[in-house]
Structure 1
Amino acid sequence: MTTERIDRTGVGLRSERGPILLAVMLSVGLVAIDATILATAVPSVVADLGGFTQFPWLFSIYLLAQAVSVPIYGKLADQRGRKPIMLFGVGLFLLGSVLCGFAWSMPALIAFRLIQGLGAGAIQPIGMTIVGDIYTVAERAKVQGYIASVWGISSFVGPTLGGVFSDFISWRWIFFVNIPLGMAAAWVLVRRFEEKVAEKTSHRIDYAGAILLAIGGSLLLLGLLEGGVMWAWDSPTSVVILAAAVVLLVVFVLVERRAAEPILPLWVLGQRVLNSANSAALLIGLLMIGLSTYVPLFAQSVLGTSALVAGFTLAAMTLGWPIAASLAGRIYLRVGFRTTMTMGALIVVLGSGVLLTVSATSAVLHLAAACFIIGIGLGFSASPSVVAAQSSVEWQTRGVVTGANMFARSVGSAVGVAVFGAVANGVVAARLGDDHADLEKVPAGILAPAIHDVYYGAAAAALLLVAAVLFMPNRITEHPVR
C-alpha cells in the first residue's frame, strides 16, 4: 500500500490499509504483553538468576528507557519518516528480547531490558502516528478501538502466558515469544507500507537537546520512581538526583529555544489542544499506575483473593477501555471532542467514587465493577484526546505531538508511583512506626486504610482530569491524511 493511493479526504483503498493496521497492532501487542507478562515470572527469574534485591530494576530501567526515548523518536519520525523508525524500534525490541532470553545474571537481564525499553519507546508512539497518518478523524473512531483492544486482550494473555511459561517450560520463553510476533509485524511493514516523505532535504539533528532531554528526563523519572524506595526522599541521593534533573531540563528548554530543528519544539507547550491533551495524558498515566499497583494488592492482601483473581479484577479496567474507545468516535463526531472527553472524565469520577465505597468486607466483584467503570471513562477521555492532538497538526509535526503525549503519560505514571507510594507508606508508617515496612506483609487491618487513602488520591486526579479536558476545543480543523 502506498499513502499516495489514499485521497486527500482519507477515503482510500481500505483493504490496502488493513495489513498496515494489523502490523501496528502486532507491534503494539509486543509492548502491551511485555507490560504484564514479566510480573508473573519474577519468582522463577529470581530463583534461576538470583538478585532478589535488584529485580525491581527490571521494570524501572525499562520504563526509564521507554519514556525518555519517546520524544526523540517522534522527532526523528517527522524528519526521516515513520517506517524506518518503526522498523528500528521493532528490531531493537527483538534484539533486547533475544538477549533477555539468554541472560546469565540479574545485572545482564537488567541491561538487556534497557535495550528492550529503547525499542518500545519507538513502537507505541510511531504506531499511533502511522494510524494518524493513514486514517481520517472519522475512521480513527473505530481504529482507536482496535488499538485499545490490543491492551485489553494483552491484560489477559500476558499474565496467563507468564504463568504457563514459568511453571511448565521456562521463564526465558516470555522473551522468546516476542520473536514471531515482531518478525511478522516487520515483514508486513516492509512489504506493504510505503510512505511519501517530504522532498529530500537536509535536516539538522538536535544532538544537544536529545542528550539533555535523555539525561534530564532519566534523572527526573529515576528520582520519582525510586524516591522513598531505594533511598529516602530527604536523603542526599534524592536531592542531588532531582536537583540535577531540574537543572538539565532548564538548560534543555534554553537550548530548544535556539535550536534550528528542536527535538521537542516549545510550541507544543503553547497550543490549547495540545496542552489539554497532554495534561489529560499525564493524569491518565497517574490514575493507571495507581490502579495497576494498588488494586491487585488490595484484592490479594485485604480481600484474600488469589493472584490470578486479583489480576482479572484489574483487567476489568482494560476491558472497559476498548469498549468505550470504539464508541467514542461516533460520539465526538456528533457532539465534539470536549463534550465526549468531559463525559468520559465524569465517568472516571463516578468510578472513583465507587472505588471509595470498597471496604475490607466487600466482594471482589465490587472492586472489579469500580475498575470497569473507570476503564469506560478512560476510553471516552484518552482516545479522543490523542485523535484531537494528531488532527490539529500537519504530517511534519505529528510524530512530535504523539511523542509528547506519550511522554506526558509516562511522567504521570512516575509521579503516580511517587505520590501514591508516599501516601500509602505514610499511613503504614504512622500506624506501625516503621518507615520501611513491606506493603505486601502489612496486616490487612492497616493496609486497607492505607490503600483507601490512595483511592482518595485517585479520585482527586479524576477531578483534575475533568478540569483538563474542559480546555479542549469542541471542534478541531482537521489536517488531511497523506
Structure 2
Amino acid sequence: MTRSLYVGVFGLLLGMFLAMLDGLIVGTALPTIAGDLGGLDHLAWVVTAYMLAGAATTPIWGKLGDLLGRKATFITAITLFLLGSGLAGLSQDMSQLIAFRAVQGLGAGGLMVGALAIIGVLVPPRESGRLQSMIGIIMPIAYVGGPLVGGLLTDYLSWRWTFYVNLPIGALAVLIIATRIRLPPAERVKPRIDYGGAALLTVAIVALTLLATWGGTTYPWPSPQVLALATVAVLALVGFTAVERRTVEPVIPPRLFSDRNFTLAQILSFLVGAAMVSVTNYLPQYMQFVQGASPAAAGMLLLPLMFGMLGAQLATGQLISRNGRYRLYPILGGALMIAGALALLLLDADTAAAAASALTLVIGVGMGLVMQSTTLITMNSADSRDMGAASGTLTLLRTIGGSLGIALLGTLYASRMQADLTARLGQDTTSQLERGGEFTPERLPNLPAPMADAVREAVSSGLHGILLGAAALAVTAFAASWLIRETPLRTGIPSQTGAATDSHAADRQMNALRASHRRTPLAHNESVGPRW
C-alpha cells in the first residue's frame, strides 16, 4: 500500500474519531450546560438526540454510498456533522442544543459506515488487517478520552468548545479525503432509494431507543407507553423485513444474511457493543464513588481496558493479515470477556485502586479481539455492491447493542443500588439522600461515615449487576463464535460491478476444482478464492 493511501485513510480515521468522540465528550460538560441554558429535565436528550439520529441514519448513509458514490457521500456526511457542531456551539437554549445535536447525529451516522465501506473497496480483506488495526486504535481512545477532553475543555475554555473543537479537525479530514482518496471507477447505476424501508427502519430504531431509554425509568415496563413503543417497534421491524425482500435496492439487503459468517458477525457485534458501552460507562462511576477518583482520574484508571482493546486489535489485524485465519479470535475474545467480567466481580468497597484498574485489562483484550475479527468477517462476506450496506449494518447493530445494553443494564444497576441503599439506610433516608442532591462523588466525603460507606457498598452492588449482565452477553457471544466457518479471505480487490460477481459461488467452484485435481496442489501463494 502506498503512502498516499495511508494518508487518505488517516483522513477517514479523523472523521470516524469525531463521530465516536462526540458521543462521549459532552458527558462531563452536561452539568455546566444545564446551568448555562437551563432545561435540566431535558438534559438527557442532549445525548439521546445525537445517538438516535446517528443510529437511524447509519444504514441509509451506507446504501447512499453504494448508489451515489462513497467518497462524495462521506464528504457530505462530515460536512453535515460539522454544520451541526457549529450550530450546537452557538445554541442559546436547550431546545436549540437538542435540535442541533440531532443534526450532528444525522451526519455522524455516515462517518463510520462511510469510512469502512471506502476501505473495504480500496483494500482486500486479506491485506486490510493493518488498516483495520488503525481503526481499532481510535475506538478505545475515544471511549476513554472523550470524558477527559470534555472535562478539560469545559474547565479551561467553555462547554461550547466541546462542539467547536470538531471544526478544524473535520476541515482537515475533508481536505485529506478530497485530495488523497482515489476510488476505482464504479459501475454507473440509476439510484433507486428505498424510501419505504428507510422510513420503517427509522421508526423501529426510534421506538427501540425510546423503549430502552424510558422503560423502567420514566415509565414502568408494564405501562401503556412502553407497551405501545414495543408494539410499534415489532410492527415496524416486520414491515421493514417485508419491504426489503421486495424492493430492488434495499437499505439492508436480505442477501447479506444468507452468508452464515456475516450473520454471526452481526450477532457478535451487537453483543460486544452492549457489553462494551455498559462497562465503559459504569466503571467510571465505581472509580469515582468507591475509589474517590476525580472524573479525569477515573478515566485514567480505565487505561488498562483501553490499552487492552487497542493491543488486541493491533495484534489481531497483524496476525490475520499474515496467515489469513480469523476463526480463533472471536472464540478467544468471547472467553476472555467472560473471564474479565467475572474477574471484575472482585471489585468492592475495599479493593485498592491499582488492583481495580488492573482488573479491567482482561475484558478489554476480549472486546478488542471480537470487535476486530467481526469487522474483517463482515467485509470479507460482502460483495462490492453491498460494501456500504454491510459496514452500515455492522455499525448499526453495534450502536443499537450499546444503546439497549446501557439502558437495560443501567436499569439493573439502579435497582440493585437502590435496593442495597434501602436495606442499609432505610427508605426515608435513601429518598432524602437522592432528593437532597447529596448523591454525587464530590459530596460523598461530607456525608456521615456510615452513610458514605453504605453508598460505596451500594455502588459496588450496582456495578456487580452490570458485570453479571456483561458476563451473560459474553457467554452468548462465546457460544455463537464457535459457529463461524474459516472461509479464506479475499486476496484481491472486489470488482465494482457487484451484480455480476458471486464470490461464494466462485469459491465453491474453485474448491470443487481443487478436489478434482488433488494431484496438482496449488502453490503456496495462490489464492483459493475467485480471481477478482
Q: Structure 1 length as normaliser, TM-score?
A: 0.92
RMSD: 2.1
2:479 to 467, 473, 477: 467
Q: Describe how 1:199-278 pairs up with structure 2 within 5 A.
A: 199-278=187-266
Partner residue, 2:464: 452
Q: Describe how 1:23-422 pairs up with structure 2 within 5 A.
A: 23-155=11-143, 157-332=145-320, 333-334=322-323, 336-422=325-411
CA apart distance, 1:420: 0.7
Q: Look up the SS of the partner of 2:359 in the other structure.
A: helix
CA apart distance, 1:349: 1.8
Range with greater deviation from structure 2 (425-434 or 271-280): 425-434
* CA spacing shift, 1:118–1:259, aligned 2, 3 Å: same
CA apart distance, 1:117: 0.6
Q: Look up the SS of the partner of 1:337 in the other structure.
A: coil
How many residues are treated as equivalent by the alignment? 470
Give the whole-Å Cα distance in 1 for the aligned partners of 2:165 and 2:145: 12
CA apart distance, 1:157: 4.3
Q: Look up the SS of the partner of 1:468 in the other structure.
A: helix
Q: Structure 2 length as normaliser, TM-score?
A: 0.84
CA apart distance, 1:258: 1.2
Per-residue Cα deviation, 1:406-450 (whole angstroms, up to 9, x for no partner): 111112112212321232233244442699968956822223222
* CA spacing shift, 1:190–1:41, aligned 2, 3 Å: same
Per-residue Cα deviation, 1:260-319 (whole angstroms, up to 9, x for no partner): 111111223332111111011011111012212211111111222222221222343222
Percent of aligned pairs with the same amino acid? 30
Equivalent residues of 1:337, 1:472 under 8 A apart: no
Give the whole-Å Cα distance in 1 for the aligned partners of 2:244 and 2:143: 38
Per-residue Cα deviation, 1:291-350 (whole angstroms, up to 9, x for no partner): 122111111112222222212223432222121111102333437211122112212222
For structure 2, the 5+ residue unaligned runs are: 441-453, 495-532
Equivalent residues of 2:62, 2:113 under 8 A apart: yes
Give the whole-Å Cα distance in 1 for the aligned partners of 2:331 and 2:100: 41
* CA spacing shift, 1:270–1:396, aligned 2, 3 Å: same
Equivalent residues of 2:126, 2:491 under 8 A apart: no
CA apart distance, 1:137: 2.6
* CA spacing shift, 1:113–1:141, aligned 2, 3 Å: same
For structure 1, the 5+ residue unaligned runs are: 1-11
CA apart distance, 1:184: 0.8
Partner residue, 1:3: none
Equivalent residues of 1:66, 1:121 under 8 A apart: yes
